[in-house]
Structure 1
Amino acid sequence: MPSSFQDLADSIDQATRDGQLPGVVLAALDKSGTDVFSHASGPLSVTDPGQASISLDSVFALASCTKLVTTVAALQCVDQGLVELDLPLDKHLPELAALQLIAPDETAKNGYVLHEAKKGITLRELLTHTSGVAYDMLSPQLQAWQTEHRGQPSLAFVGKFFGAMDVPLIFERGQSWMYGASLDWVGILIGRLSGMSLSAFCAKNIFDPLGMTATIFHLESSDSIRSRLVPMCTRTPEGNLIAGGFQLADPAVDDLGGLGLYSSARDYLRLLQDLVQEKPLLLSSSMVEEMFTPQLPDGSSSLADMKRFGPLLWGFYMSDSEPLVNHGLGAIITTGNNATSGTPAGVLRWSGYTGPLWAASRELGIAWLLATQITPFGDSKVGAVAETFSRAVFNHAGGGSSQP
């Protein structure tokens, strides 16, 4: 292990001992599957620091890191000729095609009005968050609509889709960018195209081929996997770590393609490694290249809106004031060298509300994962570790110093 990686491991060990960080796993693999760096530090639970330790086989709620798996599954459907990226999905998802467009209106009783929306949302638009689909907690109008129609302002995390996450569109398809349940719609699409549940499709086409034995949508289906689950913790306003906090619905009603998976670091790295190796197992090489291709046109309102919203998503682990980013299929993609964070061009990356983060570079043939369980989202201490780790990994892969 290079000395700088060892220094990073030592500093993380000190932070977990001091209670500044919860249990955390950091690991990186190159395109051949060779272990570049792996380190697990700290206890499974912040309430029992002297008990079991976290490991590469510990299980984490992935939250939005689920989106990468669902993206790969959808692109497998494209490779199999079941669907195309740029054809309307109306016949497969008539419920999506029937959604109305919601807009603010101060003169209206509940602060919004509804209009008919254009038809023809495509898979590419769902995979790039340009479909008009949004999470209810990100839109005052959607919260008002949910309250009026379903009695609660936000139902994004109750564990089911229809009757909870199927809300009006907030803009016409292709006209803007907003984070939302697009990948949950994609999960439903995969089920209808394949005639299988999303869980069964992913098991057959992703988990089993890669040997991902600890990755599931439903914890209730495996006592063994549940026994390795890392409990959630919360950082208080004073900076202390306490047990509890945000929890995914357990058991979940549906296989939610945007947020529902549980997995181990060892499992998830197998997926990342397949995306950066020269001959991917899961997808055609051309489809993987499309994933790593910027999708939003320069100068478009979609790209501008993504960059305005984006710091809420990646600001805590990319400290660049104006990061050079676009959106690939299923995740953001860097489009230039981001000097402050040490993130080169061509890096696909994303994070999850519950704490995990990942990044992958086909050009450098390397991928890394940081796995932990902490809320609120965007923890600055975890973000600082992720940025330091990322810089070390990409410097190492580029032939330079791995000094964090």
Structure 2
Amino acid sequence: MVKLSEAGKKALDALVAETQAEKKIPGFAIAVSNLDEQLYVSAGGYKAYDDPSSGPISPDTVFWICSMSKLITSIAGLQLIEQGKISFDDPIHKYIPQLKNAVIIEGGSHRPVTIHPTIGNLFSHSSGLSYFSFFPDPIYGLPANYLFDQSELGTREAAHDKFLEVTKGPYPGIPLINKPGTFSYGFSSDVLGIIIEKITGKSLIEYTEENIFKPIGIQTTFNLNADLKDGLMELSFRNSDRSISRWDNQLKLIERYPREVLFALGGMGAYSTIPDYLTLLRHLLRIEAGIQVANPVLKQETVKGLFKPQLSNEGASPLTGMFKMMEASNPNYEDLNFSTGVAITTKDWPGLRKANSGFWSGWAGLNYVMDPTTGIALIAGTQIVPTMDLGALELWNKMEAIVYANLET
């Protein structure tokens, strides 16, 4: 069993102090776990940027985890796969008829789909559903189908229909940017969430609470309420001159408390403390390793699938290209793939995560890695937009390097 050395803990303490003193990012938290226990957790800054009166960030601070919600939705969907309620091979339009008339968009034209995307394509983000079928205004904002007012619609089903209507946009059918089997980052998890709600008859809020969060014993949730809102870190905004401003509604956000949320977004809508999300990652790593856990949320075979590539080399190439574009200075983004829930490294990263590690990030400055070979998970989070903030990435990269340089048996 690997441990984090005392020198490693001191180095992380120094990183926290340095990050807090430099104020390159707003408040933040970091945490590390092995298969048995949380090895380290710390935090710095304030719940509102540079405002001591807002209170300090602590391990109990709640973060909007954004696209780290996708793993949770995948776990929920994989439970339905295990139960035989859905199949990887089912066409999506079996459950969502609006997808039957989907179109492939190419340049300024479009054509009907000839091969329909499947449930399996939703898990591997290769359905063709994309954030980039048309662009938000401003370009770094959230897409329109994340932003409509749900409170006037009355029912969850009406919110589903509105989401799909806005996703369709100006096209004669819901647009796909790639043929099924090719990575296309976008609305796959949200559509999977709709299917989960249709199959179970429960909201994603209710289903995940009953079948994931309570069994594991964490407070992660799709339901931001008054109590959680009090513990939520505020967003901050990175200006074009690299300065940071406190949040002043610079961008429109997803529907959330105190507004009524009829349809929780499976790709964007969850909230968690950093240690609670780390507990979820540790739970999965323990199952993968064959270690007994109380109330396992998935079977070992299913969890092992989370660390196995699902895409062909050709189908995965847009994933590699996306990360190379977003973080061009990182030489390790080569030959990435996607599993049934996370991006996968297919090679060891020198001095860092090993091959077959699962990883992803959150729109507002969060990152995590699950490394089943080494037996560790790590997570770092802040709350700053636009996404892929260089300050947040700097914290993450320094943290990962420190952790891997200071592991001992």
TM-score of the two chains, using structure 1 as the length reference: 0.85
Q: Pick the aligned partner of 2:323 from 310, 321, 327.
A: 310
CA distance in structure 1 between the partners assigned to 2:39 and 2:212 by the alignment: 23
1:331 aligns with 2:338: no
Q: Any idea what SS the aligned residue of 1:310 has?
A: helix
Residues 19 and 395, structure 2, Cα contact 8 Å, conserved in 1: no
Where does residue 381 of structure 1 map in the other structure?
A: 391
Where does residue 185 of structure 1 map in the other structure?
A: 191
CA distance in structure 2 between the partners assigned to 1:229 and 1:383 by the alignment: 21
1:28 aligns with 2:32: yes
1:239 aligns with 2:254: no
Once the two structures are TM-superposed, the CA of residue 202 in structure 1 deviates from its matched residue by 0.5
Aligned length: 372
CA distance in structure 2 between the partners assigned to 1:84 and 1:393 by the alignment: 39
CA distance in structure 2 between the partners assigned to 1:261 and 1:226 by the alignment: 13
Same amino acid, percent of matched pairs:
26
1:169 aligns with 2:176: yes
Instruction: Map 1:91-102 onto structure 2 (within 5 A).
Output: 91-102=94-105
Residues 239 and 245, structure 2, Cα contact 8 Å, conserved in 1: yes
Residues 57 and 228, structure 1, Cα contact 8 Å, conserved in 2: yes
1:4 aligns with 2:15: no
CA distance in structure 1 between the partners assigned to 2:11 and 2:333 by the alignment: 29
Q: Pick the aligned partner of 1:216 from 204, 218, 221.
A: 221
Once the two structures are TM-superposed, the CA of residue 143 in structure 1 deviates from its matched residue by 4.6
CA distance in structure 2 between the partners assigned to 1:309 and 1:35 by the alignment: 32
Once the two structures are TM-superposed, the CA of residue 283 in structure 1 deviates from its matched residue by 0.5
CA distance in structure 2 between the partners assigned to 1:343 and 1:361 by the alignment: 6
Residues 320 and 338, structure 1, Cα contact 8 Å, conserved in 2: no
CA distance in structure 2 between the partners assigned to 1:114 and 1:202 by the alignment: 37
Q: Pick the aligned partner of 2:307 from 246, 267, 292.
A: 292
Q: Any idea what SS the aligned residue of 1:206 has?
A: helix
Q: Any idea what SS the aligned residue of 1:165 has?
A: helix
CA distance in structure 2 between the partners assigned to 1:86 and 1:40 by the alignment: 44
Tell which has more relative contact order, 1 or 2 (C-alpha 8 A, sep 6+).
Answer: 2
1:13 aligns with 2:13: no
Once the two structures are TM-superposed, the CA of residue 12 in structure 1 deviates from its matched residue by 2.4
Which region of structure 1 is more displaced relative to structure 2, 366-375 or 379-388? 379-388
Q: Any idea what SS the aligned residue of 2:397 has?
A: helix
Q: Pick the aligned partner of 2:281 from 263, 267, 272.
A: 272
Q: Any idea what SS the aligned residue of 2:330 has?
A: coil
Q: Classify 1:225/1:67 alpha carbon distance in 2 versus 1 (closer, same or farther; 3 Å).
A: same
1:358 aligns with 2:353: no
Once the two structures are TM-superposed, the CA of residue 15 in structure 1 deviates from its matched residue by 2.5
CA distance in structure 2 between the partners assigned to 1:204 and 1:395 by the alignment: 39
Once the two structures are TM-superposed, the CA of residue 171 in structure 1 deviates from its matched residue by 2.4
* Superposition RMSD in Å: 2.4
Give the letter for the 2:232 counterpart: L
Q: Pick the aligned partner of 1:132 from 128, 133, 137.
A: 128
Residues 275 and 288, structure 1, Cα contact 8 Å, conserved in 2: yes
Give the letter for the 1:44 counterpart: K
Structure 1, gaps ≥5 residues long: 105-111, 147-151, 400-404
CA distance in structure 2 between the partners assigned to 1:99 and 1:291 by the alignment: 28
1:369 aligns with 2:375: no
CA distance in structure 1 between the partners assigned to 2:222 and 2:38 by the alignment: 27
Q: Classify 1:212/1:329 alpha carbon distance in 2 versus 1 (closer, same or farther; 3 Å).
A: same
CA distance in structure 1 between the partners assigned to 2:75 and 2:20 by the alignment: 34
Once the two structures are TM-superposed, the CA of residue 61 in structure 1 deviates from its matched residue by 1.0
Q: Any idea what SS the aligned residue of 1:115 has?
A: strand
CA distance in structure 1 between the partners assigned to 2:7 and 2:53 by the alignment: 28
CA distance in structure 2 between the partners assigned to 1:130 and 1:102 by the alignment: 15
CA distance in structure 1 between the partners assigned to 2:216 and 2:166 by the alignment: 33
Q: Classify 1:157/1:309 alpha carbon distance in 2 versus 1 (closer, same or farther; 3 Å).
A: same
Which region of structure 1 is more displaced relative to structure 2, 157-166 or 75-84? 157-166
Once the two structures are TM-superposed, the CA of residue 331 in structure 1 deviates from its matched residue by 1.7
CA distance in structure 2 between the partners assigned to 1:275 and 1:393 by the alignment: 20
Residue by residue, what CA displacement relative to the aligned partner does 1:320-358 show, whole Å, maximum 9, x if unpaired?
25434211222211111122x722212100001111111
Give the letter for the 2:57 counterpart: I
Once the two structures are TM-superposed, the CA of residue 377 in structure 1 deviates from its matched residue by 1.1
Q: Any idea what SS the aligned residue of 1:74 has?
A: helix
Residues 324 and 337, structure 1, Cα contact 8 Å, conserved in 2: no
Where does residue 402 of structure 1 map in the other structure?
A: none
Residue by residue, what CA displacement relative to the aligned partner does 1:116-172 show, whole Å, maximum 9, x if unpaired?
21353212211112111111xx24xx359x9xxxxx994043056233235411222
Give the letter for the 2:179 counterpart: E
CA distance in structure 2 between the partners assigned to 1:398 and 1:164 by the alignment: 51
Where does residue 72 of structure 1 map in the other structure?
A: 75
Structure 2, gaps ≥5 residues long: 149-158, 169-173
CA distance in structure 2 between the partners assigned to 1:127 and 1:11 by the alignment: 35
Where does residue 107 of structure 1 map in the other structure?
A: none
Residues 324 and 333, structure 2, Cα contact 8 Å, conserved in 1: no
Residues 45 and 230, structure 1, Cα contact 8 Å, conserved in 2: yes
Which region of structure 1 is more displaced relative to structure 2, 362-371 or 59-68? 362-371
Q: Classify 1:398/1:126 alpha carbon distance in 2 versus 1 (closer, same or farther; 3 Å).
A: farther
Residues 28 and 43, structure 2, Cα contact 8 Å, conserved in 1: yes
CA distance in structure 1 between the partners assigned to 2:406 and 2:71 by the alignment: 25
Q: Pick the aligned partner of 1:55 from 58, 72, 93.
A: 58
